């Protein structure tokens, strides 16, 4: 009886070679693609770096054009992180250590749903619901805290400001921070937790003494990954922010991020302007690549020492 | 020297184990108290539900701390305080989710009709929208072209990225021996998950721009951009699934004289197929909602285009974006907003369905791990 699994001698040997070659090819293709992303962005961005500074948008060269936008990108990402980090860690702790065991998994799914909603829908929600709701808050801030530069008035009457964009971004990166932190919190050795509780620690003391030291590296890298996402997020900012020059106030219209700048201008761009936007994309690529690499490096270092696997 | 004293037996019925503990109803009493006080305080500054909720929550956290402090002591009070803060964080995280879903349902359902699903925006001008607002008639035009574009572009992205992702994952799990190459691939796959979607779009645009002249925009270029975003997700999930296939299965196949590649195709992959399928479905769900890469690679049109290799294409996300940013009729934006929200509802339903399917596949056909 011939069996489909065992038939064929030399043919099978060739099949082995072909198949392993195919898988190796696919693996290398990943590296090639990442390299190609960098290579083609650099290639298409070259004209901008070589061009006469007077011809660049703004007329003073590429770096003068790009730095306010880079700062704007960082501001938006920092606002998002400041909000999403404490909330995300709180939610992760709630799911891993506070919620009733039976509910925990279901709650995890619910928070993951936040990640499933497309970014353009968040953007639309930002304009339609969040921005109008924040207008009175901004008005109050401008009146009562206007002496702080970031709350300088007069406040935007549409609510389409940097702070709104940052809040929308924070909602979008929340599920990333939450799900990664949750995984790490759940990996805390049960013995450490039980030892702490047996010594009479309250739940919070147990978390502070057993869970946090174990999870520190993991949480830091989760936050870094959230930062990477916030830096590169396009549509929420493009829709929510009414952009302009770089200003310190977060409650006036103004500021811009790299991703939104590209999305807003790319459809009409050609020639040197196209190259400029691709150069901006290259800068964004380099920044997010660095952030992600640091995050992954922390995770991989953590894995070797944790003994969790 | 501490002075030894004999303590007289406690006169109350509570035993020493439950001494200095708040009764179970104390938390609810504090909650009720802070809700009432919160209502009173918020009425002072002009009552609204948000102010009431905020003030009550703050009161609850503070009162909980001091009530516990007075009975149970400082450490327990801190524990209570942190517990309340963490529950509050969870509720805060749920608010946007509920708000987004509610908004999309409330604004999207009125615009949803058979006409919306089966017509495109071809020939829809501002005049048509103005007329429908003035006469109070139904909003014309729809998202059929965008649905077609979404399905085609996502389909092509899936066709390209699934084989590559699968093979690469097989390489990482079955063939690599933990060498430098496999570690590099694993590392860069992780890094690739973090590539901003617009950069993936720019890459595809730059690549095809060099080959077919700048400004070339087709659905296929968009599919390539989505592929860059999709491959790492497929690899990661497939890798995890292949890793949990028990080694006994492989060894049994080898013992029967089966070649390695046939073992992989006939034994390893079929065992893990449910997890792989659900991972692929989640990857599709991730890229189907991408807007920015489509915008820079496929452009935007109002008419139906079935050909991914030539001509611009629209997808649901870009449709939403354009209807919001450039309303068809600048003077009457309501019809455009209605169309945008209806499209958002369709898109969310797509994404949620995909997520649900992924979870069902994973649960029903879960691999037998031999435990």
Quote the pTM value. Answer: 0.85
Pick A27's closest partner by Cβ from B85, B168, B210.
B168
Residue A5: pLDDT band with limits 50, 70, 90: low
Token pair 């207008």 in the structure block, residue: A135
- The reply to whether B12 falls in a domain is no
- Stretch B63-80: mean pLDDT, rounded? 83
Higher pLDDT, B5 or A184: A184
Q: State the distance between the two ends of chain A, measured CA to CA, in whole angstroms.
A: 44
Alpha-carbon gap: B195 to the closest alpha carbon of chain A (Å) = 7
- Stretch B280-308: mean pLDDT, rounded? 85
Contact residues, chain A, for B325 at CB < 8 Å: 238-239
Chain B residue closest to A133 (CA)? B50
Q: What is the pLDDT of residue A268?
A: 80
- Stretch A86-113: mean pLDDT, rounded? 86
Does residue B241 share a domain with residue B168?
yes
Whether residue B24 is predicted with pLDDT greater than 80 in this model: the reply is: no
Distance CA B318, CA A235 (A): 10
Dump pLDDT digits (tens) for A203-248.
Answer: 999 999 889 888 888 888 888 888 888 888 888 888 888 877 787 7
Q: How many domains is chain B partitioned into structurally?
A: 2
Q: What is the pLDDT of residue A308?
A: 40
Q: Are A96 and A207 in contact (CB under 8 A)?
A: no
Task: Give the domain extent around B56.
Answer: 23-110
Percent of chain A whose predicted confidence (pLDDT) is above 70: 94
Whether residue A282 is predicted with pLDDT greater than 70 in this model: the reply is: yes
Does residue B156 share a domain with residue B270?
yes
CATH number, domain containing residue B276: 1.10.3720.10
- The reply to whether B194 falls in a domain is yes
Chain B residue closest to A104 (CA)? B90
Alpha-carbon gap: B7 to the closest alpha carbon of chain A (Å) = 24
ipTM of the complex: 0.83
Does residue B151 share a domain with residue B95?
no
Interface test with A, best of B196, B212, B224, B290 (most A CBs within 10 A): B196
Q: Enter the tokens of residue B278.
A: 């659900």
Contact B168 A23 (CB under 8 A): yes
Superfamily designation of domain A54-306: MetI-like (1.10.3720.10)
Among B345, B365, B204, CA closest to B281: B365
Q: Enter the tokens of residue B256.
A: 């029967």
Whether residue A21 is predicted with pLDDT greater than 70 in this model: the reply is: yes
Among A279, A221, A224, A263, CA closest to A119: A263
Contact A259 B196 (CB under 8 A): yes
- State whether residue B226 sits within 8 Å of chain A by CB: no
Among A88, A172, A74, CA closest to A123: A172
Q: Of B110, B136, B164, at which residue does a domain stop?
A: B110
- What is the DSSP secondary structure assignment for residue A249, as one 8-state letter? -
Contact residues, chain B, for A128 at CB < 8 Å: 103, 107, 337
Q: What is the pLDDT of residue A9?
A: 54
Alpha-carbon gap: B134 to the closest alpha carbon of chain A (Å) = 23
Whether residue B28 is predicted with pLDDT greater than 90 in this model: the reply is: no
C-beta neighbour count of A75 within 10 angstroms: 20
- State whether residue B357 sits within 8 Å of chain A by CB: no
Q: Enter the tokens of residue B248.
A: 């006994």
Distance of alpha carbon B175 from its chain centroid, rounded? 33
Dump pLDDT digits (tens) for B39-48.
Answer: 787 777 766 7
Dump pLDDT digits (tens) for B212-245.
Answer: 877 778 889 999 999 999 999 999 889 888 888 8
Does residue B258 share a domain with residue B353?
yes
Residue B7: pLDDT band with limits 50, 70, 90: low
Whether residue A309 is predicted with pLDDT greater than 90 in this model: the reply is: no
Contact A123 B97 (CB under 8 A): no
Q: Are B336 and B324 in contact (CB under 8 A)?
A: yes
Measured CA distances, A179 to A174, A175, A183, B84, B234 (Å): 9, 6, 6, 21, 18
- The reply to whether B41 falls in a domain is yes
The residues spanned by each domain of chain A are 1-50, 54-306
Q: Of B89, B110, B131, at which residue does a domain stop?
A: B110
- State whether residue A93 sits within 8 Å of chain B by CB: yes
- State whether residue B240 sits within 8 Å of chain A by CB: no
Higher pLDDT, A305 or A302: A302
Residues in CB range of A100: below 8 A, 6 or more apart = none
Does residue B175 share a domain with residue B69?
no
Distance CA B167, CA A219 (A): 32
Measured CA distances, A191 to A100, A181, A194, A211, A302 (Å): 20, 20, 5, 11, 19
- State whether residue B188 sits within 8 Å of chain A by CB: yes
Q: What is the pLDDT of residue A12?
A: 65
Contact A120 B320 (CB under 8 A): yes
Residue B371: pLDDT band with limits 50, 70, 90: very low
The sign of the torsion formed by the CA atoms of A60, A66, A68, A71 equals negative
Distance CA A208, CA B202 (A): 44
- The reply to whether B235 falls in a domain is yes
Among B169, B171, B145, CA closest to B306: B145
Contact residues, chain B, for A116 at CB < 8 Å: 285, 351-352, 355
Dump pLDDT digits (tens) for A144-187.
Answer: 887 887 787 777 788 888 899 999 999 999 988 998 888 888 88
Measured CA distances, B301 to A109, B216, B258, B321 (Å): 36, 14, 53, 12
Question: CA torsion, points A139, A141, A147, A151, in degrees to nearest 10?
Answer: -90
Instruction: Tell me the residues of chain B between 103 and 162 that have a Cβ less than 8 Å away from chain A.
Output: 103-104, 107
**Ordered DSSP codes for B46-64:** ---HHHHHHHHHHHHHHHH
Chain A residue closest to B211 (CA)? A40
Interface test with B, best of A234, A236, A300 (most B CBs within 10 A): A234
Distance CA A168, CA B291 (A): 16
Q: What is the pLDDT of residue B18?
A: 66
Contact residues, chain B, for A177 at CB < 8 Å: none
Distance CA A210, CA A208 (A): 6
Distance CA A54, CA A38 (A): 27
Contact A288 B195 (CB under 8 A): yes
The backbone region for B129, taken as left when phi is positive above 0, alpha when psi lies in -120 to 50, beta otherwise, is alpha
- State whether residue B287 sits within 8 Å of chain A by CB: no
């Amino acid at each position: 009886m011939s069996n489909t699994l065992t038939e064929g001698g030399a043919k099978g040997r060739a099949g082995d070679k072909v198949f392993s070659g195919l898988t190796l090819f696919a693996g290398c293709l990943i590296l090639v693609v990442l390299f190609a992303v960098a290579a083609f962005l650099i290639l298409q961005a070259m004209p901008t770096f070589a061009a006469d500074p007077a011809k660049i948008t703004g007329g003073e060269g590429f770096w003068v054009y790009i730095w306010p936008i880079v700062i704007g990108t960082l501001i938006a990402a920092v606002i998002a992180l400041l909000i999403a980090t404490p909330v995300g860690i709180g939610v992760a702790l709630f799911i891993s250590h506070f919620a009733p065991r039976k509910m925990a998994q279901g709650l995890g799914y619910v928070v993951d749903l936040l990640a499933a909603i497309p970014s353009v829908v968040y953007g639309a929600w930002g304009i339609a619901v969040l921005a109008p709701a924040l207008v009175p808050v901004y008005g109050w801030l401008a009146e009562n805290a206007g002496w702080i530069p970031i709350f300088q008035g007069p406040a935007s009457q549409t609510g389409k400001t940097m702070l709104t964009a940052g809040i929308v971004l924070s909602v979008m990166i929340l599920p990333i921070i939450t799900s990664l932190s949750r995984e790490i919190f759940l990996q805390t050795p049960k013995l450490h937790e039980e030892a702490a509780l047996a010594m009479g620690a309250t739940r919070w003391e147990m978390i502070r003494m057993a869970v946090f030291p174990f999870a520190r590296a993991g949480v830091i890298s989760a936050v870094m990954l959230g930062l990477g996402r916030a830096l590169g997020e396009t549509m929420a900012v493009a829709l929510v922010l009414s952009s302009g020059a770089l200003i310190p106030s977060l409650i006036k219209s103004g500021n811009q991020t790299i991703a939104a700048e590209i999305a807003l201008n790319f459809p009409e761009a050609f020639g040197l302007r196209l190259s400029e936007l691709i150069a901006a994309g290259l800068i964004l690529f380099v920044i997010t690549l660095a952030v992600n690499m640091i995050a992954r490096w922390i995770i991989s270092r953590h894995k070797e020492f944790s003994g969790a696997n | 020297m501490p002075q030894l004293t004999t303590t007289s037996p406690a006169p109350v019925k509570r035993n020493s184990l439950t001494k200095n503990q708040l009764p179970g109803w104390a938390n609810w009493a504090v909650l009720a108290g802070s809700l009432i006080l919160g209502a009173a305080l918020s009425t002072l500054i002009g009552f609204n539900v948000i102010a009431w909720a905020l003030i009550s929550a703050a009161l609850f956290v503070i009162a909980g701390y001091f009530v516990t402090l007075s009975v149970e002591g400082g450490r327990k009070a801190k524990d209570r305080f942190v517990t309340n803060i963490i529950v509050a964080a969870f509720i805060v995280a749920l608010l946007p989710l509920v708000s987004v879903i509610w908004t999309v349902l409330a604004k999207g359902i009125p615009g949803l009709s058979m006409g919306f699903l089966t017509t495109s925006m071809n020939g829809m001008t501002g005049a048509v929208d103005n007329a429908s607002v003035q006469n109070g008639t139904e909003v014309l035009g729809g998202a059929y072209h965008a649905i077609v574009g979404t399905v085609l572009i996502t389909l092509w992205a899936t066709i390209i990225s699934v084989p590559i992702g699968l093979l690469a994952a097989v390489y990482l799990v079955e063939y690599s021996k933990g060498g430098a190459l496999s570690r590099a691939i694993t590392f860069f796959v992780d890094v690739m998950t973090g590539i901003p979607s617009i950069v993936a779009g720019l890459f595809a645009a730059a690549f095809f721009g060099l080959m077919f002249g700048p400004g070339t925009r087709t659905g296929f270029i968009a599919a390539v951009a989505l592929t860059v975003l999709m491959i790492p997700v497929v690899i990661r999930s497939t890798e995890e699934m292949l890793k949990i296939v028990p080694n006994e299965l492989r060894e049994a196949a080898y013992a029967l004289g089966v070649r390695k590649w046939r073992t992989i195709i006939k034994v390893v992959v079929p065992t893990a197929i449910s997890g792989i399928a659900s991972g692929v479905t989640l990857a599709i769900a991730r890229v189907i909602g991408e807007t920015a890469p489509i915008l820079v690679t496929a452009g935007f049109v109002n008419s139906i285009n079935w050909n991914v290799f030539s001509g611009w294409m629209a997808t649901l996300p870009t449709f939403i974006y354009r209807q919001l940013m450039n309303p068809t009729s600048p003077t009457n934006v309501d019809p455009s907003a209605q169309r945008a929200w209806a499209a958002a509802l369709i898109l969310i339903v797509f994404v949620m369905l995909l997520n649900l399917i992924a979870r069902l596949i994973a649960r029903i056909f879960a691999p037998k791990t031999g435990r």
